Amino acid sequence: MKYELGIIGSGPAGYSAGIYAVRAGIKTVLFDKGNGGGLAAVAPDIENYPGFPSISGSELMEKMKEHAKKYADILEYEEIVNIEKQDKKFILTNSENKTYQVGAVLIATGTEHRKLDASSIKEFEGRGISYCATCDGFFFKDKTVCVVGGGNSALIEAIYLKQIGCKNVYLIHRRDKLRAEDAYAKDAKDAGVQFILNNVVEGVKGDQILKSVTLKNVETGEIQSMDTDGIFISIGVIPQNELAKKLDIKLDKQGYIKVDDQMRTSMDGVYAAGDITGGLRQVITSASEGAIAALSSTEALGKQYPY
């Protein structure tokens, strides 16, 4: 068997796990359906990762990837679509039906953006509707945009859009108070972001490209339409738990994988780390969980580690 540990997902948790696993003497491979980094890679600015007062998500993830490559094999654009347990081993199958045999599995598949359920949203995705300010913000310089959401991510995206030169940036939130930290709210106000609270998106309109958004006041029921060139949606995430479900691994009510303090799941030999486990869902906690999971896997592989 070429590999002992198969890590599915190469964001902060996966990269950290790869480093720690190989340093512990475990032959390790990381799989990612894209080019790695997860949602952290599209964060406009990260200011709370020790050692980096301010760094883009893409740059931080690239640094982690290069570090992990010194130890583990990283297979990008290789999606694992099935895991089958056979005795004390696991068979991983990719989208092209190629298989890999490993002795332990770490699921670090993370989360994906939650889609906004409103009229015509899907029709205008890629034509004014975006889920990534870092990816698409540049195209809206000197234009009017809206950000939908009230958490830290939404505020950070709004600040970023203002920073790169968007003429008007409106933050639309369904409640009367933001969920974001006060520091982000203050930064957004100072940057010139305008808040539209107690409103939800009812629908969008346009001709080939987005032209306007229809809002509904949740308290009064009032409907208003406002012109906008773009809408950036930041309303939370959904755990990527499909593989866990196939193994019948226990999930919590929100669909996140349940783990103990050593990142063990309900199935022997399967571990989980990072955003897929819920909780704080920060780069630093994901990296920590990845390290713990990697060293915990020594027990399933018949190895020893002094901790």
**Catalytic residue numbers, as ranges:** 132, 135-136
Contacts of 239 (CB under 8 A, 6+ apart): 109, 110, 111, 251, 254, 255, 256, 257, 275, 276, 278
Beta-strand relationship, 111-113 and 237-239: antiparallel
- Rounded-to-integer distance, Cα 106 and Cα 83, Å: 11
Beta-strand relationship, 168-172 and 194-196: parallel
CB atoms within 10 A of CB 117: 9
- Rounded-to-integer distance, Cα 288 and Cα 282, Å: 10
Pair 269, 88: CB distance under 8 Å: yes
- Best CA proximity match to 200, nearest among 179, 237, 174, 175: 174
Query: How are the residues of the chain apportioned to helix, strand and coil, as percentages rounded to the nearest 5?
Result: 30, 30, 40
Pair 128, 29: CB distance under 8 Å: no
- Rounded-to-integer distance, Cα 291 and Cα 89, Å: 22
